[in-house]
Amino acid sequence: MDFDWMKIPYAFLTLFIVVNYGFLLNAFIQKIGARVGRRHGIPIWQNYADMFKNYGLRSSITHGVMFYLGPVFRLSGGVGLILFVPIIYGSTMFSNMSFAGDLILALYFIFFGTLGMALGAGESGHPHAAIGITRGLSQVTTAELPFALAVFSVALQYQTLSVTDIVAAQQGGVLNWTLFTNPLAVSAAMLSFLGSMMRPPFDVVIAPQEIPIGPPTEYHSSYLALMQTNRAIFPIAKIVIYMNLFFGGATDWPTFFFKVFMIYLWSAFVGVVFPRFRVEQSIRWFLIWAVPLGVLSIVMV
């Protein structure tokens, strides 16, 4: 097997950029949310501080093997996802491991971390963790559905499942973006996007008041540090898929930063306006408002 070993340092470079951007972006979005609520918000470096603090903690306990492996699964999911998707269109340097599989691989690999995390949290034995997981899984089944429909619609539209080919088809002007060639699919996907960003109105999974922070309840120290790292990577990875599928991808890093930020902002924008849904409410909401759009997009393609 002829493997280009240079891919490995390139992958580390990608990761390095994404992690840092993720830390900053998360804090920035949080700050925006705070300012809308007339609060001061966290400093922009807060996430770095948290991470170093968590790695530095001396005491750490474990509840068992799966508990130990949970964060590993979680971060593997995030890192893998970033590496399986071409980040910068046309750049072999930042296409990473996208030769291993196409869009479907990315879609299904999203669940790798979720599943591992759920298992790890499950072993902690804390009921709040389990409650958080049931809520999260319940919500994700319908939240992901419009996105899956939109992906299918886009795949039908471009007759390919390769992310690179989909981005290629959108080059040559803003009007070639899927956003304009298939607006129904994009709207469905963007509604679905709200459900997967852990922001209101769909953040009952980690609902701080009822089940303090949900699945990760029992996690602390270096476990939590790993998960924080993932929390920086994962949204970016997810947004990269959206960007590639619907918004023409990115041909260089500045475009990448801008588009990712704008897409992230959409969930923050909705989040600061609406209160939280209960799980069954959000399930119904996705089925009633988002899924029909997805269905339409499939029919109309």
| Footprint of other proteins on 113-172 (CB under 8 A) | 114-115, 118-119, 122-127, 130-131, 133-135, 137-138, 140-142, 144-145, 148-149, 152, 155-156, 159-162
Give the x-and-dash track for 224-253 against other proteins (CB under 8 A).
-xx---------------------------
Q: Which is nearer to other proteins, 106 or 197 (CB)?
A: 106
Q: How far is the CB of 215 from other proteins (least distance, A)?
A: 11
> Is-contact 233 55, C-beta < 8 A?
no
213: alpha, beta or left? (left if phi > 0; alpha if psi -120 to 50): left
Give the burial class of 139: count Cβ atoms within 10 A of its Cβ; 0-12 exposed, 13-18 middle, 19 or more buried: buried
How many residues belong to the site for other proteins (CB under 8 A)? 81
Contacts of residue 62, defined as CB under 8 A and 6 or more positions apart, other chains included, come to 68
Amino acid at 237: A
Q: How far is the CB of 191 from other proteins (least distance, A)?
A: 15
Interface residue with other proteins among 14, 18, 71, 231 (CB under 8 A) is 71
93 touches other proteins (CB under 8 A): no
> Is-contact 294 146, C-beta < 8 A?
yes
Q: How far is the CB of 153 from other proteins (least distance, A)?
A: 9
| Separation CA 277–CA 204 (nearest Å) | 7
Task: Give the angle 50-254-195 at the CA atoms, nearest 5°.
Answer: 55
Q: How far is the CB of 11 from other proteins (least distance, A)?
A: 9
Q: Which is nearer to other proteins, 265 or 295 (CB)?
A: 295
